[in-house]
Structure 1
Amino acid sequence: MQKENGILLESGTNELGVVEFGVGRNRFGINVIKVKEILNPQPITKIPQSHPSVEGIIEIRGEVVPVVDIAHALGFDPSAQPEQDKFILSIFNQTKIVFHVHTVTQIHRISWEQIEKPQKLYQGLDTQITGVIKMDDSMMLLLDFEKVVADINPETSMDPAQLKELGERERSDKRLLIVEDSSLLRALLQETLEEAGYHQTVLFENGKEAYDHLQTLLDQGKEIEQEFQLLITDIEMPRMDGHHLTKLIKEDHSLSKLPIIIFSSLITDDLRHKGEVVGADAQVSKPEIVELVRWIDHHIL
């Protein structure tokens, strides 16, 4: 899949490209930034005693890549016409993975404002959905691919034990603002930062809520530097993404001094420039929690 269609050329517009794919009769989406290529199915080498959602491995231009069966991972029926299925070669968390889906249809360009956060009533306690997009005749669901992979291999998630390499930590009264749409990751990030000595954290689940909170503080005559000493934000979030949030803050004279660290699975060598364009002070790829803490220390100690 080529990226010269203009979808990836802009930063901080609060828009994204979504590759629509199908599993059974259901419509799903994946951020086009995560998609490297769409492939036709090819022979898979099975791995003994692997996770049941992992079909095996394939070779792509000399590189061995695991294949994840999305239908199995979601508890759906297998493809009725496997010869027509598609492989989505994806990269995030600095890892390449192939997702086996049933169809790939088109790319949509939409605003994060159009994406609704799944309601707790129907999303369950352990959801694999990060957003709901209302289409003309149905709905498209944005999958939490990081969670799909973490359910298969928990070692890909953040591990507070990694902080041991930083040695003994003192408790800090510096206040951190955390913006992360995944409730699981919000809790894990808060727990991990507590282990690192940062126990003063305020959490929001999307950029819009965080930005509105900062504006409310300004309206109350508060100085942001006294309220928060650093902001950590994800990129992919309903209503307002992390790039747009960063851009708004850095363009506001009353907010611009607030250091911002983008902590996302989308930090790659090819895409790092997007965070630089909007003014991020640092960018760290999930789940590199030790590097995140080192950048926090660098900016506020």
Structure 2
Amino acid sequence: MAGVLDSVNQRTQLVGQNRLELLLFRLAGQQLYGINVFKVKEVLQCPKLNEIPGRSGVVRGVAHIRGGTIPILDMNQAIGRRPLEDIHECFVIITEYNRTLQGFLVRAVERIVNMNWGDIHPPPKGAGKEHYLTAVTEVDNKLVEIVDVEKILAEVSPVNETISAGVVEDGLSERVVKKQVLIVDDSTIARKQIQRVVESMGIRTTLKKDGREAIDYLRSIIADGQDPYNELIMIISDIEMPEMDGYTFTAEVRADPKLKDMFIILHTSLSGVFNAAMVKKVGADDFLAKFHPDELAKRVNDRVLAITGEDLLSENE
């Protein structure tokens, strides 16, 4: 186990090549699960856990790790199953999502596998609306389920989606009444969070679940004889997505003469300095570590002001 993540920090060369590496793990049974290595900070044997008053049922306790206190969530319980037993024999995967650290209790950690996002697929349509999968793939002829961690975290600790007063200019939506924001994200929870913030500003949205769907949608606008620049204010895209990741999607947009100037924000829970470098490399206009409603709203607000070419503040004075 000591060597499983030794080279995580050297794996950034995969980013931008529509590739990822999955850390495979198991819960109560033989089913294999996966999590993107870029979200993982550390894997360790489950340390001593301290209970906290009023905790969520899936939080088994907190652990003191590297000088900090981190909540430890039972992954098996979080996806609607029974709590893991004999947790002293379990492992904890320390992850960073949305600028916060948390640990996920799992039965066993297997290995890291190198994958192409083209081999990562959305969950089967018959899986229903309440499942906890964001994608599925196959490794050695075995199904690997990729858990929608953002859904788990939203249920354990719901995020604030309210925009603070003064962030959005008065009358903003009236300037772009015929335009919309394209939101691209494989997580249902993440898509809806962004959608609710943007629509609370009075701006319409279109939702797509991966880069392939998004690029097809943009090209369909052109095929219908419409100008995507007249239709869209901006594109807000996740990075981690099945079929086509956000970096590859951005590169595809920039390579298309009819789309190359679309305004793109990469909006992701992935952390690390490499993101800023990759944003520049693939030609995205901005990067936002999700999720913060004020920061998101300000980006949309500023973009609307930029494309309308008018200072709403001076008009309202």
Give the TM-score, by structure 2 length: 0.86
Give the share of equivalent positions with the same residue, in percent: 30
More deviation, 267-276/69-78: 267-276
What amino acid is aligned across from residue 226 of structure 1 in structure 2?
A: N
Give 1:171-250 correspondences, 5 Å limit.
171=173, 172-173=176-177, 174-199=179-204, 201-220=205-224, 222-250=226-254
CA distance in 2, matches of 1:111, 1:189: 26
What amino acid is aligned across from residue 213 of structure 1 in structure 2?
A: Y
Q: Is the CA contact 2:197–2:297 (under 8 Å) kept in the aligned structure 1?
A: no
1:31 aligns with 2:36: yes
Q: Runs of 4 or more off by more than 6 Å in structure 1?
A: none
1:253 aligns with 2:257: yes
Give a deviation string over 1:22-54, Cα, whole Å, max 9, x none: 102221110111001111121111112211111
CA distance in 1, matches of 2:94, 2:166: 34
Q: Is the CA contact 1:158–1:188 (under 8 Å) kept in the aligned structure 2?
A: no
Q: Is the CA contact 1:268–1:285 (under 8 Å) kept in the aligned structure 2?
A: no
Q: Specify the SS of the correspondent of 2:12.
A: coil
- The alpha carbon displacement at 1:265 in A equals 1.2
Q: Is the CA contact 1:208–1:240 (under 8 Å) kept in the aligned structure 2?
A: yes
What amino acid is aligned across from residue 164 of structure 1 in structure 2?
A: A
What amino acid is aligned across from residue 40 of structure 1 in structure 2?
A: Q
CA distance in 1, matches of 2:302, 2:271: 19
Q: Is the CA contact 1:11–1:278 (under 8 Å) kept in the aligned structure 2?
A: no
CA distance in 2, matches of 1:300, 1:33: 33
Q: Specify the SS of the correspondent of 2:163.
A: helix
What amino acid is aligned across from residue 299 of structure 1 in structure 2?
A: R
- For residue 294 of structure 2, the aligned residue among 284, 290, 298 is 290
- The alpha carbon displacement at 1:245 in A equals 0.6
What amino acid is aligned across from residue 78 of structure 2 in structure 1?
A: A
2:140 corresponds to which residue? 136
Give a deviation string over 1:241-268, Cα, whole Å, max 9, x none: 1111112112333222111011111144
Q: Specify the SS of the correspondent of 1:150.
A: helix
1:127 aligns with 2:138: no
- The alpha carbon displacement at 1:76 in A equals 3.0
Q: Count the aligned residue pairs.
A: 296
Q: Specify the SS of the correspondent of 2:146.
A: strand
Give the TM-score, by structure 1 length: 0.90
Structure 2's unaligned 5+ residue stretches are 306-317
Q: Is the CA contact 2:266–2:288 (under 8 Å) kept in the aligned structure 1?
A: yes
